[in-house]
Each structure stands twice: as C-alpha cells, then as structure tokens.
Structure 1
Amino acid sequence: MNMSGGSVMLVDRDQLFSAALAALLEDEGLEVEAPLPSVTAVGGVLDEGLEPSLIITDPAGLDREGEGSPLSRLREIAPDARLLVLSSDMSAKAVADSMTIGAHGHVSKGASFNVVLRAVKLIQQGQAVYPANVAQNLGQGASPSPESLREGETADLSPRETQILACILSGHSNKAIARRLAITESTVKMHFKNAMRKINASNRTQAAIWAMEHGIAPMA
C-alpha cells in the first residue's frame, strides 16, 4: 500500500545506492519509481506525464547542462514535488543552497535508513527536515550563516542523554530504549525531552541528525 499518496523518485548518479534505497523504501510500503541518474533523465519522464510527490536526490555529480545548479534545475522542472536532498555534503553552504532553492529537507547520505525514512515521512506530512540547529531559520527567507549552523555543538548533554540519543539514532522506540538501559519509559521521555531542549530539536529525526553530526555512534 502506498502511504504517501504519490510516488517517490530517486535521482542520483550512484545507481547502486539508489537501487538499494528504493528497495528499502518499497519494503516500507512506498511506491518508488525507477531510479534516474541525471536531471535530464528526470525531464524526460516528467514530459511523459509522471508526477512524483517526492524527489530524493544527491546533487553531487549530477549533469550541469543549461543554466543554474542541478538542484535549482530539478526544482524548476518539478515545482510541485517535495524535494529531499540526501547528500554527503553537510556544510553550511550546502544546507543553505538546499534551503534557498526550496528543498523540504537536507539529510546526510551517511545517515541510517531509519533517519532517512523518518525524514521522508515528515516531509510527506508537510514538515521540513533540516539539522536541528538551523531549524529556526526555516520559513524566514534567509539562508543560515555558518555561525548558526554551529549552534548546539557545545550542548551540555549528560551521559544518559547521550545514551538515549545513541539509541534514537539506531531507530529504537522509547519502550525499547527503556529495556536496553534498564530504566522506565517515563525516565526515557524525561531525558529525551531535556536533550531535545539542549540541542534545539523539535522531533526525533532532527535529534538523530544532530547526534550523527556530532559524533554520537548508534547503540546496537
């Protein structure tokens, strides 16, 4: 069953990566189109009437024919599709570029599938998914500065809060975290709420992205 109300299109020159991600998304009930390697190829299938509701792309290495960046051209030819940038480049400039062209999210290509899946679901629900420390800039029409992207790096997390973020990064539920750490579920919620406040995250996906970007390893 298609949960999104529309199909997902993957655009990436790394077709092996796209094929693997497509298979995982299909296992979660999403309708996924055949992966495409270039913006030009996207234009061809859109001209044939295909209308994906979400496009997931890594702009690195995409063809640069015509004016503008591959990302801006992709936005031009598919203005109605939601757009998730899945990139190895998490620099201030890369995130700012995604925000500027109107992408709905920017997530590390090295993120776990659980993080990517949560990002997809949030974007399908109309939310934006960016690193937590730039979320306050969304909707303000301004690109984030390098300084704003570094906010939160000195978050004073307790060892327990760090453990819980490591579990979140692995995709564990609160109940599973409670069992793993031998504490109550209400205690998990309390520590996670405190951690969310310290890192300026508003949901589990933002918290997982922050944890990944700040060197917290997933807890098995």
Structure 2
Amino acid sequence: MIKVLIADDQELIRQSLQIVLNSRQDMTVTDVAADGQEVIRCVRKNVPDVILMDVRMPKMDGVQCTKIIKESYPQIKIIILTTFDDDEYVYNALKYGASGYMLKGVSMDELVGAITTVYNGWAMINPDIAAKVLRFFSQMAQADDTISVREKDMEELTRTEWKIIAQVEKGASNKEIAKNLNLSEGTVRNYLSTILNKLDLRDRTQLAIWAVQTNVRKRVET
C-alpha cells in the first residue's frame, strides 16, 4: 500500500485527488495539506511514501518544503505538480531531491503511474516538458553545482549503456528509448539500473544532469 500526502492550496484539487487515490486498492491518502508548514506537520505525524507537492503555496512554497523534508526524510519521494510558468521553482525542487515533475492537468492514469514510478525508486518527468527541464540542467552544468562521476566508473559503461544515457539526456521516456534502440522497456529499465549502480548516481534525474554536463550525445555520435 503506497501512502500518499496531497499538498495543494486549492481545496477542489485536494478533494479530487483524495477521492481518486483512495478508490485504488494499492494507494491510500494519509493526509491533505494546504500550505508548506502544514505539509511538514503532516509528515511528522504520518510519514508518507510519496508527496504530491504543489509549488506555489502560502506560508512556505513547495521548493522550500521539499528541501526541508528531504533533509530529514530522504526516503520520502516527492512529485512536484506545476504549471508551465513554474520552471525555476521546479528546477530548484529537483536540485533539492524531488523525484518527479508533472504538469497539473495530466490524466489520473498518468499521475497514478508517476506515483508508482517514484515509489519504486525511479524519477518521473512529464515528457511534454522534459526539454524545458533539461534547459535548466544545461544552465546548472555551467554553474558550480556539478555532478561528479569517477573516470574509472565511466570506463565500465558499454556502448549500449552510453546510447541509453544519450537518450536520457534528450529527455526520452523508457518507452521512447526502447523504440529508438530496438529494445524492450524491461531491458531499458534493467540497463538504467545498471548504469546508476556503475556511476554511483542516485536516480534518473542525476543521470540526466550529468549527461548534459558531459555532453554525452556528442561523445556517442563521435
């Protein structure tokens, strides 16, 4: 049973998500919160597995809330729910440890899939805005917030693994990677797990940032 906390300052959204998620046999909503401070209180009372986190909330926004929660509860997965004009907020939330970035207005099936994905240890970025997020990763690559990978770990990567990393750099989903490289989705998932272990990276988000920083696509193409 996946325990979910819903954080949104709009009552209608909180109620709607609560009804839908509680109707599922594999999920339960532990709490709902209207602002960041309330989120933290709820987490201390009932530690959830996944938080659906609105970005713009009163008293404390979703970015600051994400930072505080991940410092004390690193095991909690956080999915940021946002609109197109929230790019900078989401970039910082991902930097602080959020596992997902989803647009408000996605279908419930997509949102449920995202919850399951991050619960199982993967990152989830809405394909429609992956390119926009990666632009922020590019900016990050020019700054001091770099992700380091040891040269000897990079040398262990196979040709296929490099191709998969290049696809991640483009913002491709597992389904798209499978299609582009003529692999099954299960095989892609296994490859990604192996890649993360080899490079000692936390999740797909860190892999994408590192891929942009090191210009992996150029390396694969040459």
TM range (shorter): 0.5 to 0.7
TM-score (norm 2): 0.55
Q: Distance in 2 between matches of 1:116 and 1:42?
A: 20
Matched residue, 1:100? 95
Taking the aligned partners of 2:60 and 2:13, their CA distance within structure 1 comes to 21
Unaligned runs of 5+ in 2: 142-166, 178-222
Counterpart CA distance in 1 for 2:140 and 2:85 is 14
Q: Which amino acid aligns with 2:36?
A: V
In structure 2, give the amino acid aligned to 1:56.
L
Find 2:138's aligned residue among 122, 139, 145: 145
Q: Judge conservation of contact 1:118–1:205 (CA < 8 Å) in 2.
A: no
C-alpha distance 28-92 of structure 1, shift in aligned 2 (>3 A) = same
Percent identity between the aligned chains? 18
Cα gap change, 1:70/1:28 in structure 2, threshold over 3 Å: closer, same or farther? same
1:40 to 30, 37, 43: 37
Whether 1:79 and 2:50 are equivalent positions in the alignment is no
Q: Which has the higher strand share?
A: 2
2:115 counterpart residue number: 120
Shift of 1:91: 5.0
In structure 2, relative to structure 1, the CA distance for the partners of 1:70 and 1:136 (3 Å cut) is: closer
Say how many residue pairs are matched.
147
Contact residue 115 and residue 205 of structure 1 kept, 8 A: no
The one-letter code sitting in structure 2 at the alignment partner of 1:47 is R
Deviation at 1:92, TM superposition (A): 4.1
**RMSD across aligned positions (CA):** 3.5
Distance in 1 (alpha carbons) for counterparts of 2:57 and 2:133 = 30
Q: Is the 8 A contact 1:15 1:35 kept in 2?
A: no
C-alpha distance 79-43 of structure 1, shift in aligned 2 (>3 A)? same
Residue 13 (structure 1) aligned with residue 9 (structure 2): yes
Q: State the secondary structure of the residue aligned to 1:145.
A: helix
Q: TM-score w.r.t. structure 1 length?
A: 0.55
**30-39 vs 76-85, which moves further:** 76-85
1:114 is displaced (CA, Å) by 1.6
Could you tell me which amino acid in structure 2 is paired with residue 87 of structure 1? T
Change (3 A) 1:101 1:53: same
Shift of residue 136 of structure 1?
10
| Cα distance in 1 for residues equivalent to 2:23 and 2:84 | 27
